[in-house]
Amino acid sequence: MSTNADIIDLCDFYASPLGITAARSISLALSPLWRPISEERLLGLGYATPYLSRFEGGCERCLAFMPAGQGAERWPAGQPLRTALVGIEEMPLGDSSVDRILMIHALEFAENPEALIAEAWRVLAPGGSLIVVVPHRRGVWARFEHTPFGSGRPWSRSQLTGLLRSATFTPHAWGEALLFPPFRRRSLLGFASALERVGRKFWPIFAGVVIIEAVKQLHRGIPVTSAAKQRKVAKPVLVPAGAGAGARAMLCKRET
């Protein structure tokens, strides 16, 4: 079991030269996976705000949920608050209420990874996508504790695939990032972009993070257990919806 990252450490890291370079590397790897969803409802889980700011354009709404054990920051600056401190295994959202989830700095710290993925499946709309970014078990970054990617439980591709398939997610696309060492010295970060390009060709198996996009399947049944019956259900923030405006309209036609 791993403890959550601390919000102060996360903020400090992403404000540092190494953190800025790391966010750029991961964002470039996310871009090919970010298929447009019309009027989507986007949810960031863990500490996703450095990336939500880059990908929220065109969203109907965008929220950032941060684990209670981690702490939360105010986001976005100078605008109405869109962050919430939650138990990410029992989120205050209705079933099928968001179109896309970006999960980063979350799964590696989860006490119960299966419950976290099951909760993501519950709130995700049919046909919606879950994008997970986790430290790579074979990567160099998982071996250094001066970045948040050196904390928590690192994952391999096969472990992550098995976890997602157990919740009837279908892995759709893969990516990797952080193919340069986590340099402490600012002067060495000038080589990061070149090493990232070379690393994608020659040593992708040693990437610092692995990224996967998985699609929610429609055939999964959610068993009603005695524990589920006793669980206090928070009032939903969002109402159920399909995967984007087009899917929501299609679902309405089917019902009529």
How much is the pLDDT for 147? 95
227 has pLDDT over 60: no
Binned at pLDDT 50, 70 and 90, residue 38 comes out as confident
Residue 197 confidence class, pLDDT cut points 50, 70, 90: very high
Instruction: Say if residue 124's pLDDT is above 60.
Output: yes
Cα–Cα distance, 142 to 140 (Å, whole number):
6
The predicted-structure confidence for 129-163, as pLDDT tens digits, reads as follows 999 999 999 999 999 999 999 999 999 999 999 99
Q: What is the mean pLDDT of residues 114-129?
A: 95
Sign, CA dihedral 48-8-154-16, equals positive
Question: Taking residues 24-47, what's their average pLDDT?
Answer: 92
Mean of pLDDT values over 89-107: 95
Task: Using the predicted structure, report yes or no on whether residue 99 has a pLDDT greater than 70.
Answer: yes
What is the CATH architecture assignment of 7-255?
3-Layer(aba) Sandwich (3.40)
pLDDT of the residue at 251: 41
Q: Measured between alpha carbons, how far is residue 249 from residues 42, 158, 201, 202 in Å? A: 18, 36, 42, 45
Residue 14 has pLDDT above 60, yes or no: yes
**Model pTM greater than 0.75?**
yes
Greatest alpha-carbon span in the chain: 63
The pLDDT value recorded for residue 228 is 46
